[in-house]
Amino acid sequence: MQFFSLPLTPRLALAALSGILTYPAIRLDTIMGPESYPPIFSWWLILHGLVFGLLVMAPFVASSNHKGVRVSVLTVASVLIYDLAIRIPDLIAIEALGDTGDFMVAGISGAVLVATAVRFIAPLTVTPAYWGFSFVAGLIGGLVFSQAFEVCSWDKCAETWMILPYAAGWIVWQSLVCAAMFLGVRRRAIAPGNYGLSVR
């Protein structure tokens, strides 16, 4: 089975794996320390963004034209989207919801940005539901993130164990976003090897 023509279940497995790999990425970042950071991003953000781009976004590249370039652009875009999604809540604060509002805004922003990048770079032909699914996936993922941090906050868990809520949140958010994009793609008559994905 080709990597770029996967059905939903293997895609969800890759999305979950990408979330699990958050744990070693953040551990490496902690070991290396802030003094080793590159000029803009932290190491965990770069590493996890690259993994998400390769395992979740890249398999949506259905076009045979410049496939390698499209995969590379999506992978780099993933890192930028991760950073931007984290910064957006500072610009669009929902004071009434507190930290939960920040997670919701970050979750929705990240999901919509990922869906937009995949839609135009892969590229895909999508239904109107594609955008609605992505929005809802980001919203639910953001809420799960906020609850994960409630379970194991800084005053309840040692620093090492704080990484587990990160991983759990990413697994849920990434799996939901992956499913949202897959379900929102416009289907056509299924030919061998493309699972009905429609490309522009």
Q: How far is CA 23 from CA 28, 119, 131, in A?
A: 9, 29, 29
Within a domain: 196: no
Residue 43 domain-assigned (yes or no): yes
How many whole angstroms separate alpha carbon 110 and alpha carbon 6? 23
Assigned domain for 194 exists: no
Bigger pLDDT: 106 or 160?
106
Residue 91: per-residue pLDDT: 74
In a domain, 189, yes or no: no
In the prediction, which pLDDT does 184 show?
95
Query: What confidence tens digit (pLDDT) does each residue in 32-90 have?
Result: 665 555 555 677 778 888 999 999 999 999 877 888 999 999 999 999 998 888 888 77
Report in angstroms the alpha-carbon separations of 68 from 58, 64, 190.
10, 9, 24
Q: How far apart are CA 136 and CA 55, in angstroms?
A: 21
What's the predicted TM-score (pTM) here? 0.82
Q: Tell whether 81 is covered by a domain.
A: yes
Q: Identify whether 34 is part of a domain.
A: yes
pLDDT at 22 over 50: yes
Residue 149: name the closest of 163, 137, 139, 136 by CA.
163
| DSSP annotation string for 74-121 | HHHHHHHHHHHHHHHHHHS--GGGHHHHHHHHHHHHHHHHHHHHHHHH
Q: Write down the pLDDT at residue 97.
A: 62
Residue 173 has pLDDT above 90, yes or no: yes
Q: What is the mean pLDDT of the chain?
A: 80
pLDDT band of residue 5 (cuts 50, 70, 90) is confident
| Domain assignment of residue 118, given as a range | 3-184
Q: Pick the residue with more confidence: 30 or 143?
A: 143
| Residue 148 belongs to a domain | yes
Instruction: Give me the pLDDT at residue 196, please.
Output: 47
Contact between 102 and 153 (Cβ < 8 Å) = no
Q: What is the tally of structural domains in the chain? A: 1
111 falls within a domain: yes
Q: 122-143: string of b/e by CB count within 10 Å (b at 16+)?
A: bbbbbeeebbebbbebbbbbbb
Query: Is the pLDDT assigned to residue 160 strictly greater than 80?
Result: no
Terminal C-alpha separation, the chain? 22
Distance CA(162)–CA(175), nearest Å, equals 21
pLDDT of residue 189: 33
